[in-house]
Structure 1
């Protein structure tokens, strides 16, 4: 499994929905640039996940970002896009908070950032509640934490 993490400040994102869509796009671009071939994309934003699943024109304020994400997803085989509970998305929340407080753009490749190690452990414990749509997944992959399993 390959791992990459990203913390990025998006000054133009004015609402959480916009930020979640931007995080998905940034994570997908990072995975593409790292030559990952398979990906699981997870987010606690059900509106973004729903938009990524539907093949209809999105005229919302995040429509062009969603279109970019759909286009980028075609670079991965296989790929999976799913919603997870907010309680199982602590690592992404921690990285987003880091970026918003420090206005940084930081990328970690092949390592787990020290700042999220405790949260990843907590997220994996939260995972014990079960599988299925709208449940935390067994793999810790978030909108800004991208992994690739070698098959």
Structure 2
């Protein structure tokens, strides 16, 4: 059985994030989406980052930037999900980390203190489909794009699939 996106619990919103890393360019493109318990999109974005050294850094930076967007939108109860087990595990621990991702992990932890409730969880790429699709669509964009209550056209099919699997109409 394939895994699927699951709605947040209670008053929480769910923030899914992902990154596409191009080592030959030292660049990454991140995608994120914020959804409510009905699977409706509250916000999303795609962003290009330069001078990114590793795939681990790209994923951690995607988490940071998704948290920043959720904060700017005023959400206080969030469940963070990503398909980078390293980022999720390190965000849950209070130990120092290697320099190339340590700065991003420390920023995740700093931002996490600004929310009333925050929970980090690893999911596979299938359950992280909307964020993954947005990140993939970001390459080769050179501009950042952010949406309120929308996603890029390329991700709408995945949003609708997630809602259909939960039993919500289109």
Quick check: which one's strand share is greater?
A: 2
Q: 1:15 to 1:124 in 2, by over 3 A?
A: farther
Q: Tell me the equivalent position of 1:67.
A: 106
Q: Tell me the equivalent position of 2:73.
A: 34
Separation (CA, whole Å) in 2 of partners of 1:125 and 1:85:
19
Correspondences of 1:1-150 after superposition (within 5 Å): 1=36, 3-123=42-162
Separation (CA, whole Å) in 1 of partners of 2:139 and 2:55:
12
Q: Which runs of 5+ in 2 are unaligned?
A: 1-35
CA shift, 1:102, in A, is 1.5
Q: How many equivalent pairs are there?
A: 128
CA shift, 1:125, in A, is 6.6
Q: Which runs of 5+ in 1 are unaligned?
A: 128-151
Residues 87 and 123 in structure 1, CA contact (< 8 A), matched pair in contact too: no
**After TM superposition, where is structure 1 displaced by more than 3 Å over at least 4 residues in a row?**
121-127
Q: 1:14 to 1:97 in 2, by over 3 A?
A: farther
Residues 88 and 122 in structure 2, CA contact (< 8 A), matched pair in contact too: yes
**Pairwise CA RMSD of aligned residues?**
2.1
Q: 1:33 to 1:78 in 2, by over 3 A?
A: same
Report the secondary structure of 1:81's partner residue: strand
Q: Tell me the equivalent position of 1:146.
A: none
Quick check: which one's helix share is greater?
A: 1
